[in-house]
Structure 1
Amino acid sequence: MAAPREDRLSAPWLSAESPCCLSLLSCFLLACAYVGSLYVWKSDLPRDHPAVIKRRFTSVLIVSALSPLFLATWEKATGIEPDTSLLSLMGFRLEGILTAAALPLLLTMVLFLGPLIQLSLDCPWDLFDGIKVVFDPRFWGVCMTDMRWLRNQVIAPLTEELVFRACMLPMLIPCTGLQPAIFACPLFFGIAHFHHIIEQLRFRQGTMISIFLSAAFQFSYTAVFGVYTAFIFIRTGHLIGPVLCHSFCNYIGFPAVCSALDHPQRMTLLLFYFVGVLLFLLLLHPMTEPALYGRDLPVCHLLDHSLGDSTGLCS
């Protein structure tokens, strides 16, 4: 359980309400630092240019490497001392790591069963050809030299989950409890994606209305996705699951429901879309059962007796 220091009670700026203000402020500053790091480089090039991507890799990796300092500083400022290490609190632990890597990813693939079947139907390769490509070192060599692939599949999932889940959730949980933190944390994640508006307006990539509608849609999608990965992070106590799920979803993209409706085999596809969502809802809790991922969930040490765990997320 969280064990506040006694000197916290004597500090007026750390009253019962102050830790919540400090938590929200810390999360806000961390989000600003992450997004702001993307714009420290002056350039007239679009965001997908390799030179721009390389520079942004540098800045977001620096911010991500420093992000645990936000959490450590917050711990000292609030006097909250969970009886677990900082790295464990952030989801870096070996216990249950194999199941934490496999089961959440498998669960996410079940949710995207419809889009996966759609991709397989439209793919010119057969299964054997696809397996050959996956195990071909040249394929991975091409991927690793593609800046956009590295950004979407490696750097963005790793840094965003580290900053917006591993560091922010532990700061929010003592203030809000588990379930509110799951829904509050993704708001920072969703709002952080609004920075794309700047570049779209700058390079005139659409009308004003279309740009803002696109941003509103992206905020909604990223916020919902953030709720899911926050849930995975809390239930498994690992960071690797959210990172792999994030990378997978970046690869698949938003389900192409409209094209599925116009597909020659639309009834088959719609069936798999429905079955995927149904199976996902049925398997969500069993496949994220905390007992599968170790004896203890680190973030649950942040709950005090007044907050408790009325949602059953810790068990």
Structure 2
Amino acid sequence: MDIQLDMAPCGYFSIADSGIIQSINQTLLTLLGYERNELLGRHIESTMSVTNKLFFHTYFYPYIQLYGHVDEMYFSFRTSDQQDVPVLLNGVRRTRNGESVIDCVVVVMRKRIEHEKDIMNTKTKLQELYQATNEANQELERLHEEYKVKQQALIKVNDQLETMASTDLLTGLKNRRFFQDKMLGSLARFQETQCVFSLLVVDIDHFKHINDTYGHPIGDLVLGNLAGLLQSVSRSTDVVARYGGEEFVIILADCDRQQAVTIAERYRSQVASADWGEYNITVSIGAATVSQEDTEQSLFQKADQALYASKTGGRNRVTHAAEAASNGSKPS
């Protein structure tokens, strides 16, 4: 943690989804009266009273899982000498290094009196709940278990919605939105590490004739079967997506010009030699390899121009942008 964040005029901590503290700045450590090694690796709820644990667990976690952030939550932490410190808590859930984390900022409340009644009323009600009879406590435990089940169901639904948002429903491949996000990520990685990658644009030859002759249901079947074939041929590091219509795109990580042409030929030949029944299916492919001046738009345009060269050159072939003609209009 850099010195500016460590000594910032507000508290900061980062926790895993499980609540384990991953980092905490000196400002918050001083406020709570702990040394760094006393809190790192412990659960954040170890800094809370029983009442605030329940408040934190039943409000903060569900809200941030559902909406991805919590703004200005009135809350209290407990210091090492068991004193309550009322604060405003802001949190945001994000992915870092492939793992989900929750980053939080803590600001000590200056207008303490204005919020004291609300905080004390909430604490009193929660304390009364904890002091209820054994029967009430058992009911609370049952409700808590029921809540956890529903929370897991909600997380599962959210995961399913996220998958649906990035998936092409017809083919099962990733969709254009997902592809564009991955393109931006690949470009950023290239700018940072100079690790080249290439882009393929794949288009079914004479697809309009298939739709016109056999009907759109057959055309949809061809699209689905081709998607499965492209996915089966792809490497684990490739990103295969449907761009739109009969056009597919493939991001080839760590792949220079020659490798891109070789891999594109493998895709093309697998399609040409596949058993399509009574339909004759081939694809034309345009390839482009990233260069220092490329943007998302320019790299796609180069691959698209190379695709045009493959189309005008007779179809069922691969052309790299370095070899492609730079003018002409795209064939129908």
Q: TM-score, normalised by structure 2?
A: 0.22
Q: Which has the higher helix share?
A: 1
Q: Which has the higher strand share?
A: 2
Greater C-alpha radius of gyration? 2
Using CA pairs below 8 Å that are at least 6 residues apart, which structure has the higher relative contact order? 1
